[in-house]
Amino acid sequence: MLTLTNMQIVYDRVIEAVRDVSLEVPEGRLVALLGSNGAGKSTLLKAISNVLFPEKGEVLHGQIMFRDRDIGKTSANEIVRAGIIHVPEGRRLFPLMTVEENLLMGGYTASTAALHDALDKVYTMFPRLKERRKGEAGYLSGGEQQMVAVGRALIGQPRLLLLDEPSLGLAPQIIEEIFEAITRLRNEEGISILLVEQNAALALEIADYAYIMENGRIVLDGTASEIAKNADVKEFYLGFGDHGAKKSFRDIKHYKRRKRWLS
Amino acid sequence: MDLFLNLVASGLVIGSVYGLIGMSFAIIFRTTGVLNFAQGEVMMLVAYTAWTLTHTLLFPFWLLVPSTIVLAALIGMAIERLFIRPMTGQPIFAIVMVTIGIAITLRSLTTLVWGHEFEGFSVPFSGGVVEIGPVFLLTEQLAVLILFMAVSAMTWAFFRFSRVGMAMRATSQDETAALLMGVDSRRMSSFAWAISAIVSGLAGVMVSVLFARAPDMWHFGLKSFPAAILGGLDSPIGAGFGGLIIGVIGELSAGYIWNGLKEISGLILIIVILMVRPYGLFGEKELERV
């Protein structure tokens, strides 16, 4: 459904954030993109939805194909119309607008009739938003804001959902609720999802396939279960030792914590 | 008491003009973050064009109104396309400087094309007197009040309910997020300039009907700027009310204290109010979640 080939992205013409990245999101699958801070995951998502320009980012090389169409030069609003919807990191709600207005903004490109059905669907999915629909979005709790962000994306009726760290700064219980909703989107609605996460354990639990990014490159990829079994991933992302036992931090030499990948 | 009521009424009339222009400042500022210092000049240009339509091309009044609105929108969009859009990505301050350049250019351009003379602007409804209790108003003054109320209501409804109005608010709050919703932010900026040119252009036509079509009309832009600040630059309706307040205070101080206070009393009021509410009377303060 979505195929990236040999993407190279720079900021300010010189700072290379992503180098030679190729990845694929098949129809109806949930693909996780994992990696630590500054690995270039969010940059990649912004490149897909073509909103790098406000930050002076630029795609130097590479091709982005969506449903057999090259969308590398397509403007952000056309990409939304094509069915790719991006939930940015840190939610990015419109803080002074009400919850309902935020949700309606998600359906900016949809027809009015479709909008009302979609709104009802989001309210059934997250009943808490219905109670708060007249309140200003800026005053919601982090979890509720994330629900609005996901709901806002759903109202646009995406074919492909780009989720940037939906678990960021949320309580574990809320994370569970959000991830349940994400899984349901794939299983029941057949929406393809590209999920960027730092919480590798959680993402691997629900993903079909995973890529691991470091320093702007993809260093490892495979089905989620393969990745979860990989010894290096276990040690560096999941915090387990070779034998599957939880490793004590006392045993980890700090210089070893930073893994160099040969690829 | 009669004096008081008459002063308030004429204050409301002039305040409506300030309010309309203040509103047009706020419409551009709220969507794009740019302060358009050429607002008074845009107003003048639209008023002059409308004058030519009526007095040279002899458009009937029912045709004048829609054609003025269309022309104003085109003027606003043209300015945005020619001078503002190429500046995208530059510091806001640089863009504001460009608007000052536009202001001076438009001022000279109008005198170049239409000359220095004052000319009356006659409309079918001018000349009558309306008596509301002890208050006497000319029909054209009443028309200004009605126009102000109609435009305020429409602006409010537009930003509150329409899809494009909502998208304009969203763009002002978070441009990248708005882009991700499928909003074309460049088009929002173009719309904002068009709407603001329409609102200030209507005010310009009313100024020429009330006083004259004159080459120093652009002063109204400067005088209305305090109205926008007072009401809150990010709130068109607030800016409208700010205009009314400044108009009324100006007339009252001129009537009861000293005529020279008319111009400055509003500014004194602003200093006091901004000390208490730095974001203006109706402006939205930055939301901070605790």
Per-residue pLDDT tens over the stretch A107-162: 898 888 888 888 998 999 889 899 998 999 989 988 889 989 999 999 988 999 99
**Distance in angstroms (rounded) separating the CA atoms of residues B244 and B251:** 11
**Mean pLDDT throughout A227-249?**
70
| Residue A246's pLDDT band (cuts 50, 70, 90) | low
CA angle A128, A132, A133 (to 5 degrees): 110
**Mean pLDDT throughout B26-41?**
90
Per DSSP (E only), the strands in A167-239 are 192-197, 209-214, 217-223
**Mean pLDDT throughout B187-201?**
94
More confident residue, B226 or A209: A209
Q: What is the ipTM of this complex?
A: 0.85
Mean pLDDT check: name the lowest of A197-211, A230-244, B138-152. A230-244
| Residue B288's pLDDT band (cuts 50, 70, 90) | very low
Per-residue pLDDT tens over the stretch A214-227: 888 998 899 999 98
Contacts of A85 in chain B (CB under 8 A): 180
Q: Please name the residue that has the structure tokens 């190429």.
A: B86
Mean pLDDT check: name the lowest of A19-28, A76-85, B275-284. B275-284
Q: How far is A152 from chain B (nearest CA, A)?
A: 9
Mean pLDDT check: name the lowest of A37-51, A98-112, B28-42, B252-266. B252-266
Q: Would you state the pLDDT for residue B77?
A: 96
Which of B175, B183, B287 minimises the CB distance to A77? B183
Contacts of B175 in chain A (CB under 8 A): 54
| Residue B32's pLDDT band (cuts 50, 70, 90) | confident
**Mean pLDDT throughout A228-253?**
68
For chain A, domains (ranges, CATH) are: 1-83+158-171+193-263 (3.40.50.300)
The CA distances from residue A141 to A92, A98, A124, A190, B4, in Å, are 13, 14, 19, 29, 51
| Residue B289's pLDDT band (cuts 50, 70, 90) | very low
Q: Would you state the pLDDT for residue B285?
A: 60
Q: Would you state the pLDDT for residue A250?
A: 61
Q: How far is A241 from chain B (nearest CA, A)?
A: 40
For chain B, domains (ranges, CATH) are: 2-276 (1.10.3470)
Which of A54, A76, A96 minimises the CB distance to B173? A96
Per-residue pLDDT tens over the stretch A30-57: 999 998 888 889 999 999 999 998 888 9
Contact between residue B224 and residue B250 where contact means Cβ atoms under 8 Å apart:
no
Put simply, the answer to whether A95 touches B287 (Cβ < 8 Å) is: yes
Put simply, the answer to whether A92 touches B176 (Cβ < 8 Å) is: yes
Which of B182, B183, B287 minimises the CB distance to A136? B287
Put simply, the answer to whether B182 touches A108 (Cβ < 8 Å) is: yes
Interface test with chain A among B181, B184, B185, B191, by most A beta carbons within 10 Å:
B181
Q: How far is A8 from chain B (nearest CA, A)?
A: 21
Question: How many of the other CB atoms lie within 10 Å of CB of A91?
Answer: 25
Q: Would you state the pLDDT for residue A259?
A: 58
**Mean pLDDT throughout A172-178?**
88
Residue A196 has pLDDT above 80, yes or no: yes
- Both tokens of A262, joined, read 């040969």
Q: Would you state the pLDDT for residue B194?
A: 96
Per-residue pLDDT tens over the stretch A13-37: 889 999 999 999 999 999 999 988 8
Per-residue pLDDT tens over the stretch B210-231: 998 889 899 898 888 888 888 8
Contacts of B170 in chain A (CB under 8 A): 94, 97, 105
More confident residue, B245 or A37: B245
More confident residue, B267 or A137: A137
Put simply, the answer to whether B181 touches A104 (Cβ < 8 Å) is: no
Q: In this prediction, what percent of chain B has a pLDDT beyond 90?
A: 51
Q: How far is B166 from chain A (nearest CA, A)?
A: 7
| Residue B27's pLDDT band (cuts 50, 70, 90) | very high
Q: Would you state the pLDDT for residue A236?
A: 72
Q: Would you state the pLDDT for residue A249?
A: 60
Contacts of B174 in chain A (CB under 8 A): 92-95
Mean pLDDT check: name the lowest of B37-51, B53-67, B261-275. B261-275
- Name, in order, each residue with C-beta under 8 angstroms of B238's C-beta and a sequence gap of 6 or more: B26, B231, B232, B280, B281, B282, B283
**Distance in angstroms (rounded) separating the CA atoms of residues A119 and A87:** 17
Closest CA in chain B for residue A140: B289
Put simply, the answer to whether B181 touches A97 (Cβ < 8 Å) is: no
- Name, in order, each residue with C-beta under 8 angstroms of B156's C-beta and a sequence gap of 6 or more: B236, B237
Q: Is B88 on the interface with A (CB under 8 A)?
A: no
Residue type, B110: T
Q: Would you state the pLDDT for residue A11?
A: 92
Q: Would you state the pLDDT for residue B59?
A: 87
Burial (CB < 10 A; 0-12, 13-18, 19+), residue A246, is exposed
Q: Is A152 on the interface with B (CB under 8 A)?
A: yes
The full DSSP string for B233-262 is TT-HHHHHHHHHHHHHHHHHHHHHT-TTHH
Residue window 144-183, chain B: list those with CB within 8 Å of chain A: 163, 166-167, 169-170, 173-183
Q: Is A109 on the interface with B (CB under 8 A)?
A: yes
**Mean pLDDT throughout B145-167?**
93
- Name, in order, each residue with C-beta under 8 angstroms of A6's C-beta and a sequence gap of 6 or more: A20, A21, A22, A61, A62, A63
Q: How far is B162 from chain A (nearest CA, A)?
A: 11
**Mean pLDDT throughout B106-114?**
92
More confident residue, B11 or B232: B11
pLDDT averaged over chain A? 87
Residue A211 has pLDDT above 60, yes or no: yes
Residue A179 has pLDDT above 70, yes or no: yes
